[in-house]
Amino acid sequence: MGAYRSAVEHARDDATGFWAEQAAVLDWFKPFQSVLDWHAHAGARWFLGGQLNACHETLDRHVIAGHGERIAVVHDSAMTGTIRRLSYLEMRDRVAELAGCLRRLGVVPGDRVLIYMPMVPEAVMAMLACARLGAIHSVVFGGFGSRELGVRIDHARPRVILAASCGLEPGRVVPYKPLLDEALSLASHRPEACVVLQRPQLHASLHPGFDLDWEAVVPGSAPAECVPVESTQPLYILYTSGTTGLPKGVVRDTGGYLTALRYSMRAIYDVREADVYWAASDIGWVVGHSYIVYAPLAAGCTTILYEGKPVGTPDAGAFWRVVESHKVNVLFTAPTAIRAIKRDDPECRLLAGRDVSSLRALFLAGERADSDTIHWAENHLQRPVVDHWWQTETGWPIVANCLGLERFPVKAGSANLPVPGYQVHILDEGGHDVPAGTSGAIALRLPLPPGCLPTLWQDDAGFLKSYLERYPGFYNTGDGGYLDADGYLYVMGRLDDVINVAGHRLSTGEIEEVLASHASVAECAVIPVPDAIKGQVPTALVVLKSGVQATHASIESELLKLVRHEIGPVASLHHCFVVARLPKTRSGKVLRATMRRMAAGEAWVAPATIEDPAVLDEIAATFRAAAGSS
């Protein structure tokens, strides 16, 4: 039996024994007394009675082991043209100092601290300083809108806010403090202080008696030691993007999370101590929490903190420069980033001359990775390209090709095989398993493995309703898909992205896969549009690769024929529009729900997470023009 199958069976048949083995690699201050309790609470509680500290696990223990001079964080800012390297010893000392400042401001274990900062090392320090004190951090993406930020302030009720004066986007400086000030004016909760990191590009106006200058209050603070916390103590709250109404704050525990992350670095990513690991994401998202901050540092790696874009800072060769400059061993990014690179540099000419020999694998997650994008990356990088799938709620991958255990053949369109610890099922409307190859709801058998959310912040009832009630005994992912005969999972998108055309249920993901296979298409999105006769009909928006010479009309015609040929007449596209770009969140997710409302003629607003609001106006104009000509 191979290493992967052996791990799957061990985790399935003896979950407590399997995870106790994985937890043993952590530096526990007090050993846990029991491995699992999942009957007395909304969700599973792991390693009860054990005490540890996430900051100790990610920084102090490496310094104690004699690795203090190893580089922990590389801040590569394409926006400023600067690179900073910080060792584990320097990070430990800076974090201890910041924690001392927070302690002086009254922060104690269990308090919340809201972090509103861009991709700078001080943001990582802020997270770890909270963990050092046993405080609970809630990172909100820098530049997030005031109204949504105010809602999160009221929901988390932070004692202190850690912020920066601004963020940097190509061609512009984004002032953060005015957004934060407006959010505080809208919120009913009033934190006790706000510590502001003044960036050279913009100095913010500070309010005496409330706002504190980072450089004036942090340096020289008495360093704080790591506070032992219970394994079940929340480490952070992370609000899911696009939340409206009652906020949905995903809670992450401490012991289970660190156990899962350490296991994932070894088993999934095949990463070893002192490797260079780069998750090209933002700390405001779950990928940033897990794979920019906690997992790489817990594993003793060098983590890359990249302030820039895959294209435009300055060009589509930016990623290859970073890989070469810092000898990156594993790169993890979103498919949308690779599609953007492919769109601007279809022949990957900007890779030529770059020494990327250090790179062992490219991992993709965040959106469906279409086959064309995977093959393009494989062909040019000549490295394994692994699509894998997980959620904010799970905190680490559900399905992947576990390179650290056993490498399996890639199947185009599949997110690969379930990770040991997860039991993936495809259920019908009645909650029954369906045969291989049959689509249904993707659900995970309970209990969820360590690292997954145990509940929502101050909302056990909402946790049960959102995730556990629909299919008793299972966690409902909200995604649809199918398992093939070999156990490979195909994730076809959110269940609400299924289109019902004249009684036929079609996956938008399936149609997008066909469109993406066209040689001229860089990326695409398919949305359902109401139809008086068929109920719904699919409409496609496509972005072409750079240099495509054919007319938009001819491309649209070819794509309509391609979908009809590959899927059948029932999938015939109602419209196919060539657009300059797709509207996306800052994490790279396409705003399909917003476009659905737009196409249906319903009221819509630009979500606070959108990268560029002007794109929605362009898409709206496209729909209006189509409606006027029909």
Cβ-contact 419, 400 below 8 angstroms: yes
In this predicted structure, the answer to whether residue 245 has a pLDDT above a threshold of 60 is no
Identify the structural domains of the chain with CATH numbers, from first to last: 3-308+388-481 (3.40.50.12780), 502-629 (3.30.300.30)
Q: How far apart (Å, rounded) are the C-alpha atoms in residues 519 and 516?
A: 8
Burial 462-493 (b: 16+ CB within 10 A, else e): bbeebbbebbeebbbbbbbbbbeeeebbbbbb
Local confidence band at 585 (pLDDT 50, 70, 90 cut-offs): confident
Q: Give the list of residues 6+ apart from residue 30 with CB closer than 8 angstroms, or none.
A: 49, 50, 51, 52, 228
pLDDT in tens, 260-284: 999 999 999 999 999 999 999 999 8
Quote the tokens at residue 563.
């979908």
Q: How many other C-beta atoms lie within 10 A of the C-beta of residue 209?
A: 7
Q: Which of residues 43 and 136 earns the better pLDDT score?
A: 136
**Looking at 307-321, 372-386, 544-558, which range is the least confident one?**
544-558
Angle at 353 between CA 350 and CA 357, to 5 degrees: 105
DSSP three-state, residue 249: strand
Cβ-contact 70, 302 below 8 angstroms: yes
Is the pTM higher than 0.75? yes
Provide the mean pLDDT of the chain.
92
**What's the half-sphere exposure (Cβ side, CA atoms, 13 Å) at 537?**
15
Q: Average the pLDDT over 494-504 and give the result.
A: 64
Q: Give the list of residues 6+ apart from residue 528 with CB closer than 8 angstroms, or none.
A: 497, 499, 500, 508, 536, 537, 538, 539, 596
Percent of the chain clearing pLDDT 90 (strictly above) = 74
In this predicted structure, the answer to whether residue 244 has a pLDDT above a threshold of 50 is no
Q: How far apart (Å, rounded) are the C-alpha atoms in residues 114 and 148?
A: 13
Q: How far apart (Å, rounded) are the C-alpha atoms in residues 44 and 7?
A: 21
Local confidence band at 504 (pLDDT 50, 70, 90 cut-offs): low
Q: Give the list of residues 6+ apart from residue 407 with CB closer than 8 angstroms, or none.
A: 384, 401
pLDDT in tens, 517-530: 999 999 999 988 88
> Which pLDDT belongs to residue 243?
37
Cβ-contact 255, 26 below 8 angstroms: yes
